[in-house]
Amino acid sequence: MDLQALLDDIARESAPYAAQGKVASYIPALAAVDPSRFGIALATMDGQLYGSGHWRESFSIQSVSKAFSLALVLARDGEALWQRVGREPSGSPFNSLVQLEYEKGIPRNPFINAGALILIDRLLSLTGDSLGTLLAFLRAESGTPAVAVDPDVAASEAAHGHRNAALAHFMASCGNLENPVDLVLDHYFRQCSLTMSCADLAKAGLFLANHGLRADGSRLLTRSEAKRINSIMLTCGTYDAAGDFAYRVGLPGKSGVGGGILAVLPERGVLCVWSPALDPHGNSVAGVEALDRFTTRTGWSVF
Ligand code: GLN
């Protein structure tokens, strides 16, 4: 199969779908992003890298980072995490407050904002520096030392972070936070503000396609843990649209409101798409379209 030609076709066909979405507007730094940007990259297990469109341009990875946080916590702490966070789809928006009160401060899953705050809290306790641990991992796996926080996005996240602060304070009131709320939020806002390209993200995610083995051949996760993360990505990685994403794409995926989506092709590689215009659930419209076309054309889904 000519993968380069395929990605070029998919980029050309999918990019116009951005017109059906809207760029995230909850912070000025994201609202200013050009909605016509579109990138797609495929990193394969045999070390090849393909890309089309703006696939080498950095964007705000936002919640795509949560897949990596989950891996870093599970690698260090194993099953203990599941005392503090569930692993069921929420069926609610990623920043919803309602469910968290009903369920006594235990977030439904690690990929909604409340669950991601728990991951950061735990990684802070385990390492002393959640963001630093994540950054070192992303730089090593992507081979890009320039992976960094965008300070403007981070400042904007903090200035407009009342909802995330409410989630964190509520969990603290339920005894489900180990570190000070402000410290957890600071690491969360900066983590959301990491900038990476489709190429960087596709390479960084390869351990998920490779049963937990890192780029240098060392083991981050057991085979079983890598399976579990992929499962949670499939069921919860695109929030209250995870059912529709699974139906259309048939791959584990993790999206972010910057318009990025990382999708895992087990034993084959990792695809990353970026197009900033979002659907009402916060997933990239053209990104989902591109992944749908890719698995339809190749037959490379998990089903
Ligand atoms: N920074 C965003 C928030 O906290 C991240 C959400 C997302 O990408 N889904 O609301």
pLDDT for 102: 94
pLDDT for 138: 98
pLDDT digits (tens, 9 = 90+) for 288-302: 999 999 999 999 999
* Cβ atoms of 20 and 284 closer than 8 Å: no
Which atom, in ligand 1's list, is nearest to the CA of 27?
1
Q: Which residues line ligand 1 (CB under 6 A)?
A: 62-63, 94-95, 113, 157, 164, 192, 256-257, 282
How confident is the model over 43-64, as a mean pLDDT? Answer: 98
* Cβ atoms of 256 and 65 closer than 8 Å: yes
Element (H, E) at 130: helix 130-142
Look at the block and give the residue holding tokens 């570190």.
179
Helices (H) and strands (E) in the chain, counts: 14, 10
DSSP string, 166-234: HHHHHHHHTT--SS-HHHHHHHHHHHHTEEE-HHHHHHHTHHHHTTTB-TTS-BSS-HHHHHHHHHHHH
Catalytic residue among 188, 193, 255, 285: 188
Give the confidence band of 86 by pLDDT, cuts at 50, 70, 90: very high
How confident is the model over 63-88, as a mean pLDDT? Answer: 97
26 flagged as catalytic? no
Which atom, in ligand 1's list, is nearest to the CA of 113?
4
Domains delineated in the chain: 3-298 (3.40.710.10)
* Partner residues linked to 59 by β-bridges: 196
pLDDT for 104: 96
* Cβ atoms of 229 and 73 closer than 8 Å: no
3-state helix, strand, coil in the chain (%, to 5): 55, 15, 35
Give the confidence band of 180 by pLDDT, cuts at 50, 70, 90: very high
102 flagged as catalytic? no
> Which residue of 94, 150, 195, 201 sits with most ligand 1 atoms within 8 Å of its CB, as the best mutation to test the pocket?
94
Candidates 270, 246, 275; CA nearest to 259 is 275
255 flagged as catalytic? no
pLDDT for 7: 98
239 flagged as catalytic? yes
Q: Is the dihedral of CA 90, 201, 18, 26 positive or negative?
A: positive
pLDDT for 155: 97
Structure tokens given for 281: 């659930």
Q: How far apart are CA 251 and CA 254, in angstroms?
A: 10
- Tell me the pLDDT of the chain averaged across its residues: 97
